[in-house]
Structures are given as C-alpha cells and as structure tokens.
Amino acid sequence: MKKKTADHAFATAELKGTKLEPTFSGALSFMRRRYSKELAGVDVAVSGFPLDTATTNRPGTRFGPRAIRAASCNNAWNRPYGTDFDPFDRLAVIDYGDCHWDHGRPEEIPAAIEAHAAQILESGASLLAMGGDHFISYPLLKAYAKRYGPLSLIHFDAHSDTWNDAEGTGRVDHGTMFYHAVKDGLVDPRRSVQIGLRTHNDDHMGFNVLDAPWVHENGGAKTAAEVRRIVGGHDAYLTFDIDCLDPSFAPGTGTPVPGGLSSAQAIAALKGLAGIQFVGMDIVEVAPAYDVSEITALAAVHLAHEWLALYALGGKARG
C-alpha cells in the first residue's frame, strides 16, 4: 500500500507512479507531479505558458495553466479510462512551473518561450505545454525543429491558424503562426493534418484537412486511421486548441465556434494515435473566465492525460 502523505507537489521524492491525495485538498501541481526545475532523469516536463496578448477575440488564457492544474486533481488518482497501463508508471513526469517573461516587453516573449522549451528539450526530456493562447506553438515549434528537423503537425482546432501574415514574422498573433511554421520549414504540411476545422480559409498551405463535418461523418477511429496514414513514421507534434471542441463541451475559450467535436470524439481520435512517434504536445486556449463548472479545463486535462499515455507507447526516446 502506498504511503499516505499530503502535498505531493512538494513532498514526493519519486517522479514515477500515480500520486493519491484527496481531490479536494493539497498543492495543485499538474496531476500531483513534483514541482521541480531538475531535469535529470525526467521523461516529460509539464510547463505553463500564460500568454493572452496574441488573442483576436476574448482574452483570459493567461489563466489557463492555473485552471488546468486545478482541474487535474480530478484525474490524478487513476489512469486514462480504456488504457491498460498507468502512464506515470512508465514516465518520470514533473511540473516545471511556468515560463517567465516581462509582460511590459511583449516583443521579447517569443524568444523567452523558445529558450524555455529549448532548455527542457536539451536535457532529453519532452515538453507538455499548457497555454496560454495558441501563438505559443510557434516559438515552441522553433525549439523542436532545431532538435528534430521539420515535424509532422497534428493540429486539432476550429481554425486553421494559417492566415497570410503579409506584415512579416514580427507580429505576435494566434491566427498566423502555422503560416510562418510552414514558411520557416518548421513543419512539413504534406505529412501534417488539421482536424476539426469549421472556419473558412481559402489557402490551406498544403496541410491535409479533416474538418469537423468529416469527423462527424466518419468518427474518431477513422479520423485516427487517416492521421496515422498521413503522418506515417515521422516525428510528430500534437497541438490541441480546446476550441476544437464544440462550445457545449468547452465554453471556456476565447473564440468558440459551434459545430465542433464532442469530448468523446476527440478522446477516441487521440486513443487511435497509439504508435505515432510524438516529440511533444501543447494544449492551448483554455480561458477559465468563460468556463462553466471547470468543464473546459477538465477536457484539457483529460486530453493531456491521454497524450501522456500515447507518449509512453511511442514517444521519442530520451537523448
């Protein structure tokens, strides 16, 4: 029987294993993982990127990492349903805290995010990033591409985020970062896929698209099979904008769009991605001020938990 203790976020010495603690109490790290800046022996570092200055609609995603951590106590006691192992038995996972920058110097934020991610990746660990708005994916992909080369992007979203940014790369905008990711060679759109889209953009930048109606018609298992076909054996990065889910399942976001995926569809699609060689993930656009009973943050936690199981099965090895 596991020793009973409180505040695993600070008290635990073991980086593996599920941490049992009353849901209603204790220090709220991500999934009760130890807060630490020590990366030796770590497989996955979870870190927050509390940014919302790149939003085009409702702000508030700077509080997303805090909300996800708080909601994660609901999942921390058990493995993802339908998974026959506990990812925390296989992976050493820490909560690395949040990326820090000077909010008064927004032009320095992209470099701060990239450097923060690079430090984690250089240790041999992977990064599970909690947004923040979706712009964070751009500097994160810069750090990953320097280590792994051009990646396959698996992108769940209501929006393509590939709108033409004629003003150049200096702008900080959560709707243009994958336009730049393609232009910069960070991702290969031919072996990448966007899932759940339901807003018009006439230029898909070469990405394969499985829009929301396609997912509704074909289901989660077929969606996953098509993603696996497109990505093949290439290194892949998963980015999940919570507004991919229908607002009935994720009201707490800045740019909600009706007609989206259900939580069940998204979970089924993720479960079907077992075996893909993931290098990292971000979960973004949780804005708790617009949430109802934490359901958006809970969905984000569940999706992140599912990804940890995927990473345990097929993630890029340390080193």
The pLDDT score that the predictor gives to residue 317 is 54
Report pLDDT digits (tens) over 55-97: 888 999 999 999 999 999 988 888 989 999 999 999 999 999 9
* Long-range CB contact pairs, 262-268, < 8 A, 24+: 263/299, 263/302, 264/220, 265/215, 265/216, 265/219, 265/220, 265/223, 266/156, 266/196, 266/220, 266/240, 266/299, 266/303, 267/220, 267/302, 267/303, 267/306, 268/219, 268/220, 268/221, 268/223, 268/224
The pLDDT score that the predictor gives to residue 319 is 44
Please give the model's pTM, rounded to 2 decimal places: 0.93
Specify the 3-state DSSP secondary structure of 83: coil
The pLDDT score that the predictor gives to residue 169 is 66
**Residue stretches of the chain with pLDDT short of 50:** 1, 319
Report pLDDT digits (tens) over 192-227: 999 999 999 988 899 999 999 999 999 999 999 999
